[in-house]
Amino acid sequence: MKLSLRLNGADRTADVAPHESLLTALRERFVLPGSKNACDQGECGSCSVLLDGELVCSCLVLAAAAEGREVRTAEGLTPDGGLHPVQRAFVEAGAVQCGFCTPGLIVAADALLRAEPEPTVAEIREALAGNICRCTGYGRIVDAVQRASKGIYE
Amino acid sequence: MTLAPPRPGTLVKVRGVIGESPQRPDAADKVKGEFAYASDLRADGMLVGSTLRSPHAHARIRSIDVSKARAMPGVRAVLTAADLPTRELIGLMKLDQPVLARDVVCYVGEPVALVAADDVDRAVAAAKAIAVDYEPLAPVSDPVAALRPGALQVHEKGNIIDSVRVVHGDVRATADVVVSGEYEVAMQDQAALGPEAGLAIPDEDGGVTLHVATQWLHEDLRQIAPALGLPERKVRLVLAGVGGAFGAREDISLQVHCCLLALATKRPVRMSYGREESFFGHVHRHPARMWYEHGATKDGRLVYVRATVVLDGGAYASSSPAVVANASCFAAGPYRVANALVHGVAAYTTNPPAGAMRGFGAVQTCFAYEAQMDKLAAACGLDPVEIRVRNGLREGDAIITSQPMVGSAPVAEIVRRCADLPLPAERIPTDPLLLPGGTGNLTAGEGVVRATGYAAGFKNVCYSHGFDDSTTARVRLMRDARGPIARVHTAAAEVGQGVVSVMLQVTRTELGLERVELDTPDTSVGSAGSSSASRLTWMAGGAVQAACREVVVELDRRAAARGVSRRDVGLPALLDEPIDRTVTYRHRPTEALNETTQNHGHVAFLFAAHRATVDVDLGTGLVRVVQVATAQDVGKAINPLAVIGQLEGGIAQGLGLAVMEEIQLKDGRVRNPSFTDYLLPTILDMPPVLCDVIEHPHPDAPYGAKGVGEPPTISSTPAIVAAIRAATGKALNRVPVRPDDIVFGNESRSGWRIAPGADPATAERA
Amino acid sequence: MDVEIARTLDGALAYLASRPDAEPIAGGTDLMVEMNFGRHRPKAVVAIDRIDELRELLVAHGRVRMSAGVTYARMLREEIGSPAMRQAARTVGSPQIRNAGTIGGNLGTCSPAGDTLPVLAALDASVVLRSASGDRRVPFTQYMTGPKKTIRRHDELVVAVEWNDAGDAQVFMKAGTRNAMVIAVASLALVVDGRRSRVGIALGSSGPTIIRATEAERFGEGLMDETGWGRRRVPSDAALAELGSRVAAAARPIDDVRGTAAYRRHVLSVMARRAFARAVLLA
């Protein structure tokens, strides 16, 4: 069936299977593999996207039910020719290892900082508890979010 | 190999050399979501592969009917063992595993048939439509029972995958103070976030190119080519983006299957496991049962250690021989002890195969011997720091295999420095979010006790026991419109650990040149060996360093031929022709295992100590790790920020094993193959980590850098459990520690009685 | 599979009435997992997440009406007339799940581990079901009949849940072996409603349904009668222990992959003691 939506600021249309998730549609139909498929059940956050501005797991969104809605993925956060402040902070802080969780974390951290520009460490941890990272032990991720929070979102 | 000391290539200050922390070359692509992982790959006309797996732990295959599946629309190939081009077996250390089960299945999840179809849904539906008639056989679930005389045999040659005996000094030594115990380590999953994936593309010469997420391209090739019935030159492997590994990608998963389907359909085929299939598609950490006895003088000096270690190897050997060798060689820990008797066995069972995971072998026995050291400290009236300082290995001391410590072996120093790191400043908090149970709102301090625990551990770096361990690097120095540039080509698998940064930093250091690029790892260059055993900093670092130095020799030769000095004339003037050097680097050879394991089996050793502070809720039995402090000797930190990342990341996996991570088995079945019920630490579970990175250069290692990756996972687990014991007074002889164990004081019992050090075949029912 | 995106409640109900094989989907946090794993694929789904009527949240005159489409994230942001419900919402999954998942979904799936369900039981909440033929109100304890089993007819939708504002003395606790994003090994909601002289205690992940610990409730009321409702006096340890054992006795737990029956009983008793002690201080 046809799915039309506003994807990273552009109107896009693709054929999707009726039962498939938004994550599958993003990866396979729109060829935006930045949203990652690590658990398929909302337990890892690697597929995090903004759906009408709300942070969700795209694996738990029925693609067909996203008709007409606005979706922003990790790819869509990247400005032309550069890096988003959160992306830059992750690179500089050493928060990236294998990187499989990274796009989802970037989206989640951006959502946090928009809502709370200067979060405490406890707030950072609670807000990112849905994003599993198996490589870093999270220390550099906390550091990256703190770096990104400093003044950028005011 | 003799190496010249490092020489700066130019007088210009070069950024991003060793000892600095330049940004990872792949980081920008990764944060943008543009880095191509194996599961992201696509090709025109691509089909999708699917695997039918055994639902039985042990069964005879009476028949397989694929007619219905083959007739389904969109299905392009259905393969069973009968369709395989060869009967070659696969396996990392023993070729004992069929590509597809032929007559019997030996574990739940064993591959039985393959499908290639136009899309995932069709492939999965077709796999389900394959009718397999099984005759169930009795499972072999208990590895100790499997080793006893008369046990049902999983394979023809008996149930011992491998056994290792360490006989050191007087095996009948006696001591004033004796402590003993039985210990258990449950099955841990590597849980790399990127599931297994690959894309196979048939080539015009009848061969195939496989883009795959793996830890060791050439080892895959060694197993794939014979299984396909092709010469190695017709099978090309290219490293696709790897979403973490931790040992799980050392074995073949879908590599052969994907190539078979591509060759059968003459079309590109992608296979990409989901999380549930991933739990069945890769090996796990060996579950272990360990029986220990330590003897010491009254002032806490070790007199003897005796241990029996039984590892559940599961249905196929994988890396079990190396794991049992590690578990046995390191069974006494990083301590001086004159007498030891260790009997380690890895057993075949019909459980899921066990293999490599970060720190393998060393992780299991460290949990046991560190619990023993604390028991000894209590018996002798010493504190946990003092018992470790008193017994810690020093340079020149030998471990229980009689191999002396060369270079740095600063056990007392790492323990002391770890103990000197500041404890958490704040007292027990009152916000439930920060206490055991977290968002569960269980306590505002009621029932909470804080305590600390210590552990130290060690392990070999690089391959051991006579293995010809090598890494090949090709360095090409040339000039383009922007000036000189170096290209480095190795087959080293970047799995997240940062070997790409190491290779860039080494090249910049050696050539004095900032512009360095890395070629995609593939099998067109010599083997790099695996991204395992904490070895690539040493091995890939060594190979790239050596190749760079040969390039410098050529630069000097060219300069001399023109009667100038290289520094005066500068690099561009010497690069009318590119310089291309390929070097295969080897570390000092090691000795093969012998009967009593008294030999120089390892090239060098890594040491770390951990101190954990925990809050335990005695009412709910839940644990909050408040802080972990660590001191680790890395030799030399090539990239200090990446070192911290390895320390923190390794500790997170150690924390997981301590308090939550367990693949639960029942009669060979995995009861929790999902991230809902296999729990990984979240950012709320992982405390701040204090790191003291110690740099005592190892004389044999390039720049003295020994490797980093595994020690953080080895002793963090026992340190956390020691802290929980200190808080609860419970014995806690098993990891992960479950709330039941804390609340009810349950101790794990195998039901077998074995004299520590004895052959487990002599086990008696307790 | 057919996908219908409903814009109005009547539209959704009409679709359900016309398609006996259709299932509603809102946040997708339960149904999509089943679909992703190929365990369950309905013939038709009707998406009800765009229906404005299902987003209403009314807290007025001591009565709360929370429409089915209210997400857990909204429960954390807005006044919802139940501190325990807010505490329960905070334990649901992750921010991503809380942004998508709804109270209606928790009621629709009706797992014994559903985090908000013990709160609804302890509050004596009513579930409002609507079909083309009208509304019916059912006490939650009658609504849920077994694990993932309810009295909801196929052509009905859970449109709201209603309860009386029971004041501030409410606690929700959930035990799990991770500090966030964990399914309850056992959970407990406890309400001390001074205005109605009523104690409500309900247990999650402790049996085939959410269990009301009625013996413990009566005992708790007796304790409050003795010490005085609203006087903020914590009962003796012995009294709390008795309350805890009555809660444990009410549970019908099993051994499963997440925990043992013995631990569940134990931790329920601990949670009951602590929750009661905490609640009376809030009364």
Work out whether the CA dihedral B219, B222, B224, B227 comes out positive or negative. negative
- Same domain as C28, residue C146: yes
Mean pLDDT, range B235-240, rounded to an integer: 98
Structural fold of domain B284-463+594-761: Aldehyde Oxidoreductase; domain 4 (3.30.365)
Starting at the earlier edge strand, list the strands of the sheet with C126-131.
Answer: C57-60, C63-67, C157-164, C126-131, C134-139
- Same domain as C103, residue C44: yes
In chain B, what is the greatest distance between 2 CA atoms, to the nearest angstrom?
83
- Same domain as C104, residue C239: no
Q: Which residue, among C3, C19, C32, C37, would best test binding to A if mutated, counting the most A CBs under 10 Å from its CB? A: C32
Q: What is the pLDDT of residue C54?
A: 98
pLDDT at B317 over 70: yes
Mean pLDDT, range B246-251, rounded to an integer: 98
How far apart CA B234 and CA B255 sit, in angstroms, is 15
Q: What is the pLDDT of residue A81?
A: 87
CATH superfamily of A2-76: Beta-grasp domain (3.10.20.30)
The ranges assigned to domains in chain B are 27-35+470-586, 39-137+195-242+249-281, 284-463+594-761
- In which residue ranges of chain A is CATH 3.10.20.30 found? 2-76
Q: What is the pLDDT of residue A151?
A: 61
State the SS3 of A33-58.
CCCCCCCCCCCCCCCEEEECCEEEEH
In this structure, are residues B539 and B529 in contact, taking their beta carbons and an 8 Å threshold? yes
Strands (E), A52-138: 54-57, 70-72
Identify the band that residue B408 occupies on the pLDDT scale cut at 50, 70 and 90: confident
Q: What is the pLDDT of residue B409?
A: 75
- Same domain as C158, residue C102: yes
pLDDT digits (tens, 9 = 90+) for A86-103: 999 999 999 999 999 999
Mean pLDDT, range B58-83, rounded to an integer: 98
- Same domain as C270, residue C131: no
pLDDT digits (tens, 9 = 90+) for B170-204: 999 999 999 999 999 999 999 999 999 999 999 99
- Same domain as C61, residue C6: yes
Residue B29's contacts (CB-CB under 8 Å, 6 or more residues apart) are: B35
Structural fold of domain A85-149: DNA polymerase; domain 1 (1.10.150)
Our count of domains for chain C comes to: 2
Range B14-18 contact pairs with CB under 8 angstroms and sequence separation of 24 or more: B14/B508, B14/B509, B14/B512, B14/B513, B14/B514, B15/B508, B15/B514, B16/B504, B16/B505, B16/B508, B16/B514, B17/B505, B17/B508, B17/B509, B18/B505, B18/B506, B18/B509, B18/B636, B18/B638, B18/B639, B18/B703, B18/B705
Contact C28 A60 (CB under 8 A): yes
Q: Is B206 helix (H, G, I), strand (E, B) or coil?
A: coil
Mean pLDDT, range B321-328, rounded to an integer: 98
Identify the band that residue A127 occupies on the pLDDT scale cut at 50, 70 and 90: very high
Domain limits for position C213: 170-282
Q: Which residues of chain C have pLDDT under 70?
A: none
pLDDT digits (tens, 9 = 90+) for C169-200: 999 999 999 999 999 999 999 999 999 999 99
Identify the band that residue B9 occupies on the pLDDT scale cut at 50, 70 and 90: very low
pLDDT digits (tens, 9 = 90+) for B705-763: 999 999 999 999 999 999 999 999 999 999 999 999 999 999 999 999 999 999 999 99
- Same domain as C182, residue C134: no
Phi-psi region of C240 (alpha: psi -120 to 50; beta: other; left: phi over 0): alpha
pLDDT digits (tens, 9 = 90+) for B449-499: 999 999 999 999 999 999 999 999 999 999 999 999 999 999 999 999 999
Beta bridge partners of B690: B629
The rounded percent of chain A whose pLDDT value lies above 70 is 97
Does C29 contact chain A (CB < 8 Å)? yes
Mean pLDDT, range B558-573, rounded to an integer: 92
- Same domain as C186, residue C127: no
Mean pLDDT, range B219-236, rounded to an integer: 98
- Same domain as C216, residue C129: no
Q: What is the pLDDT of residue A152?
A: 66
pLDDT at B7 over 70: no
pLDDT digits (tens, 9 = 90+) for B636-647: 999 999 999 999
A122 contact residues in B (CB cutoff 8 A):
431, 433-434
Minimum mean pLDDT range among B395-409, B658-672, C37-51, C94-108: B395-409
Mean pLDDT, range B150-167, rounded to an integer: 97
- Same domain as C118, residue C25: yes
Q: Which residue, among A110, A135, A143, A146, would best test binding to B if mutated, counting the most B CBs under 10 Å from its CB? A: A135
- Assigned token pair, C132: 């083309």
Domain boundary among C108, C140, C164: C164
Question: The pTM is what?
Answer: 0.97
pLDDT at B2 over 50: no
**The residue type at C183:** I
Name the CATH architecture for the domain at B39-137+195-242+249-281.
Alpha-Beta Complex (3.90)
User: What average pLDDT does the structure give for chain B?
Assistant: 96
- Same domain as C268, residue C203: yes
The CATH number of whichever domain residue C218 belongs to comes to 3.30.390.50
Q: What is the pLDDT of residue B12?
A: 54
Q: Which residue of B has its CA nearest to C88?
A: B440
Contact C174 B440 (CB under 8 A): yes
Q: Do domains B27-35+470-586 and B284-463+594-761 have the same CATH topology?
A: yes
Q: Which residue of A has its CA nearest to B192?
A: A134
Q: What is the pLDDT of residue A150?
A: 79
The CATH number of whichever domain residue C91 belongs to comes to 3.30.465.10
- Same domain as C174, residue C130: no
Of residues B400, B394, B397, the one with CA closest to residue B415 = B394
pLDDT digits (tens, 9 = 90+) for C133-179: 999 999 999 999 999 999 999 999 999 999 999 999 999 999 999 99
pLDDT at B5 over 50: no
- Judged by CB atoms within 8 Å, which residues 74-113 of A form the interface with B? 74-75, 78, 83, 87-88, 90-92, 94, 96-103, 106
B664 contact residues in C (CB cutoff 8 A):
257
Mention the CATH class of domain B27-35+470-586. Answer: alpha beta
The residue whose two tokens read 């306590």 is B443
Contact B26 A99 (CB under 8 A): yes
Q: What is the pLDDT of residue B6?
A: 44
In this structure, are residues B263 and B228 in contact, taking their beta carbons and an 8 Å threshold? yes
